[in-house]
Amino acid sequence: MTALPIRLNNLRCLVAASSLMVLPVLADSGHQHETAAAGETGQDRTLWQLDVVMGYQKTATPRIAGFLPYDGHYRSAGFGLQHLDIGRSFRLPDQGVYGQVVVSRHSSSTDIHEAWIGHRSGAWQLQAGQQLVDLGWLNRLHSHDRLFVDLPLMYQAMWGGEWSEAEVRLGYQRLDLDSNSGLWQWHSALSLLGTSQMNTARDGVAAMVTTAVSARYGQWQHAIKLDVYGAEVGQRGMQLFSTSTATHSHGSTATEYFDGGIGHIAMGLSSEWDNTWGRWRLQGEYQQRQEKGDLSSAAGQTTDASAVLDLRSWGSYLDLSWQQSRLAAGVRWQTLGSDVGLSRVSGDDLADSILNHQSRSPSYLNMLIAWRLPWQGSKLRLQYNVPLTDALALPRIQLQWLYSVAF
């Protein structure tokens, strides 16, 4: 096997995630304001939700090298609208039916981020439609519901940021209350998913199994989560020789294709403690992926990307956070790596592609403080990013103003 000239060391670390709200494992909906499954009870609920995120950063968010590129939502330099959600939820409690539609604006594109319907019968739950996939701790949370300004690097590199996909999910949830061991919750789900987020030109199919267990006793809550994902994709379009975050590879604009299989595993741990000073949380997550298949160039391209690819990648992060009614603070360590293997390479062109990367894994320390402003639904987030290696140039300072209103 011929490999690209640069390889990264594999850092196998257990990792983390964080949010300002309850554990995502307890959520039934992708939108954090709807965490209590809108059809599970007969309580009155607000049906409309508007969330706005304005932000400033001195430099644009860079594209991460060493991975098959996604058309993710990259933030540009300067001040502007970074994220906007308009959501409408509904419920028919007597029939156990509920659903949600969310239209999102991310910097330069607008799309239907969620449009799904669900039905609950006892401990069983069925959801179908376009929805935020329940992978890891963070993917089901929108930007305004997370603690940190941005998603960890591994979410950005492996999933293109917030991952919304056509999905049919069958879930089972069980609650047990014991006077000695506290409240236990067990949740498992089987999902069949599309592959449109990967810009596939041919029909693809994917499946994912999720299992999560949480326990609450007194002031403590602990949780563990495991996700296993597999997909077979055909003609996944991309642009391997562009580092610009403004370029997209939808339809005829793709210059290269990948045909093959993807295997992915995600593992997470979380521990939370409530006391008179506020809520403390330590969470960890680790994700690992293997992509094997054929690379090819679109017709008419001057570069030749023909090769057999074996791409192994991994990422992890760990954060510690604290929050109370008006203030929140957190610190997050994160790292990312990949190992690119190529065989049957037609020429030397791929050495100049985005698959090539620097000799060290991107590693960062992110420090954040957030304030809830006097106006209801409004808060500020200030994040300072400290590079631990020089493999990726993230913006050093990121500032966001968030506003949420229900009506």
CA distances from 94 to 28, 119, 170 (A): 18, 11, 20
| HSE toward the beta carbon, residue 92, CA cutoff 13 A | 8
- Is the confidence at residue 211, as pLDDT, over 60? yes
- The more confidently predicted of residues 193 and 180 is 193
Give residue 251's pLDDT band: very low, low, confident or very high (50, 70, 90).
low
pLDDT at 179: 63
**Mean pLDDT value across residues 253-259:** 88
pLDDT at 24: 37
Residue with tokens 């008006």: 326
Beta bridge partners of 288: 265, 314
- Is the confidence at residue 316, as pLDDT, over 90? yes
**What whole-number distance in Å separates Cα of residue 112 and Cα of residue 135?**
19
- Is the confidence at residue 294, as pLDDT, over 90? yes
Total Cβ atoms within 10 A of residue 277: 9
Residue 13 burial by Cβ neighbours in a 10 Å radius (0-12, 13-18, 19+): middle
350 and 193 Cβ atoms separated by less than 8 Å: no
Beta bridge partners of 259: 294
Q: Per 3-state DSSP, what percentage of the chain is helix, strand, and coil (rounded to 5)?
A: 5, 55, 35
- Is the confidence at residue 149, as pLDDT, over 90? yes
CA distances from 379 to 21, 51, 287, 402 (A): 14, 12, 31, 5
pLDDT at 202: 79
| HSE toward the beta carbon, residue 208, CA cutoff 13 A | 23
pLDDT at 173: 95
pLDDT at 106: 77
**Mean pLDDT value across residues 377-386:** 96
- Is the confidence at residue 152, as pLDDT, over 50? yes
| HSE toward the beta carbon, residue 244, CA cutoff 13 A | 6
Residue 186 CA to its chain's centroid (Å): 22
Q: Kindly list the structural domains of the chain, giving each domain's residue range(s) and its CATH number in brackets, ordered by start.
A: 2-406 (2.40.160.10)
Which of 68-72, 78-82, 115-119, 280-284 has the lowest average pLDDT?
68-72
pLDDT at 42: 38
pLDDT tens digit string along 105-140? 876 678 898 999 999 999 999 999 999 999 999 999
Which of 27-41, 227-241, 276-290 has the lowest average pLDDT?
27-41
- The more confidently predicted of residues 34 and 305 is 305
**What whole-number distance in Å separates Cα of residue 236 and Cα of residue 229?**
17
Of 150, 153, 151, nearest in space to 64 by CA: 153
Of 156, 152, 108, 114, nearest in space to 133 by CA: 114
**What whole-number distance in Å separates Cα of residue 131 and Cα of residue 100?**
9
238 and 199 Cβ atoms separated by less than 8 Å: yes
Instruction: For residue 56, give both structure tokens.
Output: 């400033």
